[in-house]
Amino acid sequence: MRIGQGFDVHRLVPNRRLILGGVEIPYESGLLGHSDADVLVHAIMDALLGAIGAGDIGHHFPDSDLRFKDADSMKLFKDVLEKVKTAGYQVVNIDATIIAQKPKLVGFIPEIQQNIMALINQKAVQVNIKATTTEGLGFAGRGEGIGAMAVALIDEIG
């Protein structure tokens, strides 16, 4: 068994869609990034890449590569899952936290979890997604950005 951890943060800006876990969240701002800036999926991908010792998403999907401009992070996530499988592993557990003062995300968590579980496509996998605020402290508390952190547990296939 192996464990990996991931973290990502993006700035909130006007005139962008807010995408978290592949779900478009109605909000006045969205996350700025080269791709769709889905911080949750980015943190999970980094955790999985870390678990197989394969670097991070910046290495695999660099922001200098125009192929990834405005990319759907869920499609990039599929590529990371294939890398995990090719390395001889399967996902056992993902635990992730979205860090945002606003918007309130509790109503979107079930759909986000389902999206991630559907991509992993394994019956035994456990996916747990949470959201928390920073009680008004820091960049997230001031509404300047959203962060996410994730831990992934993988095991050898078979």
What's the confidence (pLDDT) of residue 66? Answer: 81
Which pTM value belongs to this model?
0.95
The packing angle between helices 109-120 and 73-86, to 10°, is 40
What's the confidence (pLDDT) of residue 123? Answer: 77
| Alpha-carbon gap, residue 125 to 81, rounded angstroms | 13
In order along its 158 residues, the chain shows pLDDT tens digits of 999 999 999 999 999 999 999 999 999 999 999 999 999 999 999 999 999 999 999 999 988 888 888 889 999 999 999 999 999 999 999 999 999 999 999 999 999 999 999 999 877 789 999 999 999 999 999 999 999 999 999 999 97
What's the confidence (pLDDT) of residue 128? Answer: 96
| Alpha-carbon gap, residue 93 to 2, rounded angstroms | 11
Residue 19 CB partners (closer than 8 Å, separation 6+)? 25, 30, 31, 36, 37, 38, 73
| Alpha-carbon gap, residue 56 to 42, rounded angstroms | 9
Could you tell me the residue ranges of all domains in the chain?
2-156
What's the confidence (pLDDT) of residue 64? Answer: 86
Strands, DSSP E only, in 82-138?
89-99, 126-132
What's the confidence (pLDDT) of residue 67? Answer: 84
What's the confidence (pLDDT) of residue 125? Answer: 84
What's the confidence (pLDDT) of residue 147? Answer: 98
**Domain 2-156 has what CATH class?**
alpha beta
